[in-house]
Structure 1
Amino acid sequence: MLSNRLLLTAVAPMVWGTTYLVTSEFLPPDRPLLAAVVRALPAGLLLIAVTRRLPTGDWWWRALVLGTLNIGAFLFLLFVAAYRLPGGVAATVGAIQPVLVGALSAGLLGEKLRTRTVVAGAAGVAGVSLLVLRADARLDTIGVLAAVGGAVVMACGVVLAKRWRSPAPVLATTGWQLTAGGLVLVPALFQVEGLPSAVTGVNVAGYAYLSLIGAALTYSLWFRGIGAMSPVKVTFLTLLSPLVATVLGWVALGQGLTAPQLLGALLVLAAVIAPQLVKEKKPCASPSSAQPVPSAAR
């Protein structure tokens, strides 16, 4: 049976599945840096204000590293892919992330890279492809590289977030990462894009949703899940994002559902559930890590 903690963590990637719809329908065009900064920085500052906790000791640079990987670099690459690729291509490329996390967890956390993880990862990629990829999908080189880069940096961030256990509550740690991730993008925002001459009420609503719901709430649930469970199990939940995006396209945009898409949805659900059924052994403390890695309950 799936735990309540796992189900709560799953809320995060399900909400993230609305990103492509919100980006295309609510945000001004061709401004990935602005979208990333406005999504992360206000949410981070809000959480810091609520928790009234700042990093101490090594956590000044650790928060910067994690914020850059999990938030700054990832969100920028996510929005570049969202603007330059059809959602199906970006989602299919991003589906490689669970296998990347499995490989990194084996090297950095001492977790065994199981055959089931590789098979489930392949099923996840196949399922997402059937779910969202179209035969006439336009391939943009920069967009594909951005999607691959986003999967890589988030995989690194997820594993390091597990390896480095924060002494502060999860809301505070989330606030540090969101703030750091937003701040590292501010110079590039002004250098490359600048601020728009005007924003509409629709734009403001889109940014508010992405910041409060798509960042402050979801990343808090996400990092809470990483701290309590195996990163491999958690990262398979990201496959729910394209599933939600497809359902939204069907419900909100009147897009049809084909038999291959339904098969893809079943493959995605199987890929998400299969790793959760593996019982984890209690791991030993790693001498190079900041603390013992807790047993899995991604």
Structure 2
Amino acid sequence: MRHLDIALTAIAPLVWGSTYFVTTEFLPSGYPVTMAALRALPAGLLLLVMAPRLPKGIWWLRIFVLGALNFTLFWAFLFIAAYRLPGGVAATVGAIQPLIVVFLAALLLGTAIRASAVMAALIGIFGVGLLVLGSGIRLDPIGLIAGVCGAASMAAGTVLTRKWQPPVPLLTFTAWQLTAGGLLLVLLAVFIEPPLPTLDARNLSGILYLALIGAALTYILWFRGISRIEPGAVSALGFLSPLAAVLIGWALLGQALTQMQIAGAALVFAAIWVGQRAARTRPSELLKISIRHPL
């Protein structure tokens, strides 16, 4: 059953790796926040129609916090990075996310820091670093900062999603977060971006793909994985996203794939394997450092 959980969860980052290709090839340039809103809100409203139930009590605040972390901030930074960096590079910047998750989970969930989990994160960072260095391209500082901020936002959202177990089915929980995050993105877009120009069929097809496949479907699988698998192990699967982005760039855009990048891809697979093994580490194999939640 665990292998099925891992396989289903892995579909999400594999699909997310295509975000960078779709953004640069199908969407109008210069509207990162608006595009993020058009990805999140329609998907959230569609799922809300399918699971018509509203939050109650403290869950109003929690849903907007999770929506902001998992979607509003994360996607805003993601689209900025996607516009300013080549697809493979933009995807690989998020490689620090699993390392952030390891320490945030220790702080907020009281989990012990596993040496193997830290090792998996470091191997993954090195692996995606090879993917970046192998591309031989110039990096944009603003794009890099946006990518790092997006990784930190999603890491916090991953840990808090596990901490705040929802009192509703998975479909409803996903609908709440997408809708809340989408509403916040709409407000942000109104204040910081110009009105959207007329969209053509290519633009609409890109938005439709990102909303239905890249949001509604994948986040149902992702939140399902978070509820069943340890956060560090789930986050390690995120390394599949930069790998998918690089392979898409090679297959569809004719971008070079060097031996160094192939070595980086091998390290990414190794990091994912170590990350899944880390979730099964025996207590005697844990680091002695353990940060307990103050409450």
Q: TM-score, normalised by structure 1?
A: 0.91
Q: What is the alpha-carbon distance in structure 2 between the residues aligned to residue 41 and residue 32 of structure 1?
A: 14
AA aligned opposite 1:110: G
- CA positional deviation for 1:131: 2.0
Q: CA deviation at 1:212?
A: 0.3
**Cα distance change of structure 1 residues 141 and 258 upon mapping to structure 2, 3 Å threshold:** closer
Which residue type is aligned with residue 203 of structure 1?
A: N
Q: Which residue of 2 aligns with 1:222?
A: 222
Quick one: percent identity of the two aligned structures? 52
1:93: Cα distance to partner?
A: 2.3
Give aligned pairs, total: 286
Question: RMSD between aligned alpha carbons?
Answer: 1.9
Deviation at 1:134, TM superposition (A): 4.7
User: Structure 2 vs 1, CA of residues 2 and 60 (structure 1 numbering), >3 Å: closer, same or farther?
Assistant: closer
Matched position secondary structure for 2:44: helix
After superposition, residues 156-235 of structure 1 pair within 5 angstroms as 156-235=156-235
Query: Shift in Å at residue 66 of structure 1?
Result: 0.2
Identify which range, 179-188 or 20-29, moves more after superposition: 179-188
Instruction: State how far apart, in whole Å, the 2-side matches of 1:24 and 1:255 are.
Output: 14
Once the two structures are TM-superposed, the CA of residue 211 in structure 1 deviates from its matched residue by: 0.2
Counterpart for residue 127 of structure 2: 127
1:246 CA displacement: 1.5
| Residue of structure 1 equivalent to 2:18 | 18
> In structure 2, do the counterparts of structure 1 residues 2 and 250 end up closer, same or farther at CA, with 3 Å as the change threshold?
farther
Q: Greater relative contact order (Cα 8 A, min sep 6): structure 1 or 2?
A: 2
Query: Counterpart of 2:241 in structure 1: which amino acid?
Result: S
Alignment match, 1:248: 248
1:1-298 to structure 2, matched below 5 A, reads: 3-134=3-134, 136-278=136-278, 279=280
What is the alpha-carbon distance in structure 2 between the residues aligned to residue 240 and residue 153 of structure 1?
Answer: 18
> CA distance change for structure 1 residues 95 and 105 in 2, over 3 Å: closer, same or farther?
same
More helix by share: 2
SS at match of 2:207: helix
Q: In structure 2, how many angstroms separate the alpha carbons of the residues matched to 1:255 and 1:249? A: 5
Q: Is the 8 A contact 1:98 1:232 kept in 2?
A: yes
Partners of 1:156 and 1:276 in 2: how far apart? 20
Check conservation: 1:88, 1:129, Cα contact below 8 A.
Answer: no
Aligned mates of 1:263, 1:2 — CA distance in 2: 28
Q: Structure 2 counterpart of 1:52, which letter? A: P
The 1:280–1:171 alpha-carbon spacing in structure 2 relative to 1, beyond 3 Å, is farther
Inter-partner Cα distance in structure 2 for 1:267 and 1:78: 24
Task: Give 5+ residue unaligned stretches, structure 2.
Answer: 284-291
Structure 1 counterpart of 2:156, one-letter code? C
Counterpart residue type for residue 179 of structure 2: T
Q: What are structure 1's unaligned runs of at least 5 residues?
A: 290-298
SS in structure 2 at match of 1:95: helix
- What is the Cα deviation at residue 126 of structure 1? 1.2
User: How far apart, CA to CA, are the structure 1 residues paired with 2:122 and 2:100?
Assistant: 12
Q: How far off is 1:191 after superposition? A: 1.9
| 178-187 vs 202-211, greater mean Cα deviation | 178-187
Structure-1 residue corresponding to 2:288: none
Q: Higher mean Cα deviation, 271-280 or 165-174?
A: 271-280
- Cα distance, 1:98 vs. partner? 0.2
Deviates more, 1:251-260 or 1:3-12: 251-260
Preserved CA contact (<8 Å) 2:121 2:275: no
Classify 1:135/1:204 alpha carbon distance in 2 versus 1 (closer, same or farther; 3 Å): closer
**Deviation, structure 1 residue 194:** 3.0
